[in-house]
Amino acid sequence: MEKIPILRMGEFLLVTIQVDMHDRLALALQDDLTTRISETGARGVLIDISSLEIVDSFIGRMLGNIAAMSRVLDAQTVVVGMRPAVAITLVELGMSLTGVKTALNVDAGMELLRSAVDGEREFYGSRF
């Protein structure tokens, strides 16, 4: 069965979706990713969907769910590289993915993750 690779980069996890998402693959990714986050203690997850051309409401909801689950496991999620057509589709479907951070490309996403994690660290560092 196809599997979406999850790469570890320091304290972040990098997921690049390079095949067409179908529902079972999405569920498997959700499973894998949550397991990996808790195993590695990752502080951030970066999901690159620049090759994703087709989305439906299920995939949209899955992206939202993954972000929420990571949040619970204390990792920030950034979705990067969404195509214009995909963005329009999601908006038309009424899914604005509130609570999910977004960035234009992997570079910008990494920067965003770093600053978010650093910000968190500073905040807690000053209090504890």
Partner 1 sequence: MATMINQKTSVLGPLIAQNKDQILREWIVEMNDSARRGDLMKEGELRSQCTRFLDLLAQGTAGGGTNLQSGAYDPMREMLAEISTSRAQQGFSAKETATFVFSIKRTLFTVIRDEFEKDPKTMALEIWNATELLDALGLYTTEVYLKSREERIRRQQEEMLELSTPVVKLWDGILALPLIGTLDSARTQIVMESLLESIVQTNSKVAIIDITGVPTVDTVVAQHLLKTVTAARLMGADCIISGVRPQIAQTIVHLGINLLDVTTKATLSDAFGLALQRSGFALAKPQKKEKQDQ
Tokens for 32? 């894998």
Compute φ and ψ for 17, nearest 5 degrees. -90, 110
Among residues 6 and 64, whose Cβ is nearest to partner 1?
64
Helix H, strand E, coil C: the string for 30-49 is HHHHHHHHHHHCCCEEEEEC
| Closest of 50, 57, 58, 124 to residue 90, by C-alpha | 57
Among 28, 83, 114, 117, binds partner 1 (CB under 8 A): 83
Tokens for 53? 């051309």
44 binds partner 1 (CB under 8 A): no
68 binds partner 1 (CB under 8 A): no
87 binds partner 1 (CB under 8 A): yes
46 binds partner 1 (CB under 8 A): no
**In sequence order, what are the beta bridge partners of 14?**
7, 46
Residue 87 Cβ vs partner 1, minimum distance, rounded to whole Å: 4
Residue 88 Cβ vs partner 1, minimum distance, rounded to whole Å: 5
Among 97, 116, 117, 120, binds partner 1 (CB under 8 A): 97
**In sequence order, what are the beta bridge partners of 78?**
46, 101
Residues 99-118: x where in contact with partner 1 by CB under 8 A, - otherwise, as a string: ---xxxx--xx---------
Contact (Cβ atoms closer than 8 angstroms) between residue 51 and residue 109:
no
Binding site for partner 1 (CB under 8 A): 79-84, 86-88, 90-92, 96-97, 102-105, 108-109
